[in-house]
Amino acid sequence: MGERGRPGMTSPGGGGEERHRATPWAEARALAAGAGRTRSVRSRRVSLAEALGRVLAEPLVALTDLPSFDTSAMDGWAVAGPGPWRVSEGGSVLAGHARAAELPDGEAVRIATGARVPPGTTAVIRTEHARTEPVRTEPARPEPARTDSARTEPSRAPAVVARLYAEREVLPGQDIRPRGQECGSGDELLPAGGPVTPAVLGLAAAAGYDELVTVERPRVDVLVLGDELLTAGLPHDGLIRDALGPLLGPWLAALGADVVATRRIEDDADALYAAVTGSEADLVITTGGTAAGPVDHVHPVLRKAGAELLVDGVKVRPGHPMLLARLTSERHLVGLPGNPLAAVSGLLTLAEPLLRGLCGRRPVTEPYRLPVGNAVHGHPHDTRLVPVGHRAGRAVPLHYNGPAMLRGIAEADGLAVVPPGGAKAGDVLEILGLPWPSPTEGCFT
């Protein structure tokens, strides 16, 4: 699982083939992002229940006014005209019920939050801002007789049982959510390219949607290379546990990919060639074998497959032997180094921006930045990615950040992008986020 060295490769900071071929870190990220945007985005209509975590393929446009009618913002009294108001016997106006009759001037009726405001309503008075006083029962006022066959007797208006007094100034329209306050039918609520979060699902439902048009998830095959890997039990006899198989699938899924399979491939060029050329995934991820050792088969396999190398080594530590290749016009391969943290570096450097394009997500225009809490050692010539935690508005470098270590990234909130030469305490650095909740801001802090 190690980063196998290239015979004759010069030491860090020296001249030679490696430094000539390697791509600067920011340029490599831009190349990966551009490669992701070359594939035509495929969309799929899914139910709201299936849409969580996907990406909007179309703008979310309101199918109705929100709210779609004037509603009460509070429990209280709907009143018409100036007070005090007559309270007649009868029921309340409740949410979800049919439209209430017009409220005559000088009258009040109980109303619930979310209920449709009766026509003629001047304002809603909150329950706690009003008081009622009973009155002597007034005789019911007769209404004009109806001539239809269903009713021949004169009807009677409800008797007044109380008077309502406001204990605060009543302003016209108060505590009423007017129709269209949040949006009008046809308004664009969200642009395409954004993630479907629980809040987006709620907004879509409120705006009248049963389904959403989302981007089809890019399919990814993960090929974990190496004869030295165990899938269970303790390391022994020169064999080590595979850390990348359990790590990569969930991480790629969190980035929006549909991980078709995670397969383990022995150190065999023919087996790797068959796996790469036989894959129908949009993206193939390999681990290890990206240098030029005796069992590093990725480069020869890519040449045999007629692939185009877009990035062959990146000026970043850890993870410099990573690569990006175009297999076909719409299929790519990202070769990650075998060391765990180096592989994470390659994942964030090449796979994440590539998948952002394949998923149809909008590009990041403003990187997230924080000052570092203390000085960070840097590489003389290459960018360095260092796991950091968030502490009081600063990024604090974490220990256990060697290429083969995962302990630092397991407790990290992100990775700081340290420029060549390092950074001083207080320097503001770009922070690469991780696609899960921050450990320092979780449920147990």
Q: Of residues 101 and 419, which shows the higher confidence score?
A: 419
Amino acid at 8: G
Tokens 């979780």 — which residue?
442
230 — pLDDT class (breaks 50, 70, 90): low
Residue whose token pair is 């968030």: 390
pLDDT tens by residue, 87-111: 987 778 998 887 678 899 999 999 9
**Which CATH superfamily groups domain 17-41+218-358?**
MoaB/Mog-like domain (3.40.980.10)
> What mean pLDDT is predicted for residues 434-438?
83
Would you kindly state where each structural domain of the chain is located, as residue ranges?
A: 17-41+218-358, 43-65+193-215, 69-178, 369-441
Q: What is the mean pLDDT of the chain?
A: 87
Tally of CB atoms within 10 A around 330: 12
Task: Report d(CA 390, CA 388) in Å as an integer.
Answer: 7
Residue 101, pLDDT score:
85
- Alpha carbon 32 to chain centroid distance? 20
Section 21-45 average pLDDT: 92
Is pTM, for the whole model, over 0.85? no
Distance of CA 252 to the CA centre of its chain: 14
113, 162, 295 from 169: Cα distances, Å: 20, 20, 83
* Helix, strand, or coil (residue 158): coil
Question: Contact, 285 vs 334, CB < 8 A?
Answer: yes
The CATH number assigned to the domain with range 369-441 reads 2.40.340.10
As a whole number, mean pLDDT of residues 24-28 equals 97
43-65+193-215 is classed CATH 3.40.190.10: no
User: Hey, what amino acid is at 254?
Assistant: A
Q: Measured between alpha carbons, how far is residue 230 from residues 270, 338, 342, 405, 430 in Å?
A: 21, 14, 19, 17, 36
Q: Give 84's Cβ-side CA count (13 Å radius).
A: 15
Cβ(224)–Cβ(242) under 8 Å?
yes
Give the pLDDT of residue 97.
82
The answer on pLDDT for 126 being more than 60 is yes
Q: What confidence score (pLDDT) does residue 17 get?
A: 44
Looking at the predicted structure, is the pLDDT value of residue 415 above 50?
Answer: yes
DSSP character string of 94-135? -TTSPPPPPPPTTEEEEE-TTPBPPTT--EEEEGGGEEEEE-
How confident is residue 14, by pLDDT bands cut at 50, 70 and 90? very low
CA distance 108 to 162: 10
CB atoms near residue 262 (< 10 Å) = 20
Question: How confident is the model at residue 424, as a pLDDT?
Answer: 96
What is the structure's pLDDT at 243?
80
- Report whether pLDDT(190) > 70: yes
The pLDDT assigned to 363 comes to 80
**Which residues neighbour 339 within 8 Å (Cβ) at sequence distance 6 or greater?**
1, 2, 3, 318, 319, 403, 404
Residues 12 and 15: their CA atoms lie apart, in Å, by 8
* Residue pLDDT, tens place only, 386-401: 999 999 999 999 998 8
Q: Does residue 290 contact residue 322 with C-beta atoms inside 8 Å?
A: yes
pLDDT digits (tens, 9 = 90+) for 34-63: 999 887 888 999 999 999 989 999 999 999
Same fold for the domain at 43-65+193-215 and the one at 369-441?
Answer: no
Contact 283, 40 (CB under 8 A): no
Three-state secondary structure call for residue 284:
strand
CB 270 within 8 A of CB 209: no
Nearest to 276 by CA among 288, 268, 285: 285
β-pair partners for 303: none
Mean pLDDT, to the nearest integer, of 269-286?
95
Averaged pLDDT for residues 412-433 = 96
- 212, pLDDT greater than 80: yes
Weakest-pLDDT range from 275-284, 387-396, 432-441: 432-441
Asked if pLDDT for residue 367 goes beyond 60, the answer is yes
Q: What are phi and psi of 23, to 5 degrees?
A: -95, 135
User: pLDDT > 70: what percent of the chain?
Assistant: 89
What is the predicted pLDDT for the residue at 4? 39
Q: In degrees rounded to 5, what are phi and psi of residue 84?
A: -70, 165
Region of 49 (left: φ > 0; alpha: ψ -120 to 50; beta: rest) is alpha
Domain 69-178 fold: Molybdopterin biosynthesis moeA protein; domain 3 (2.170.190)
Name the amino acid, one letter, at 381: H
Rounded Cα distance between 391 and 8, Å, is 43
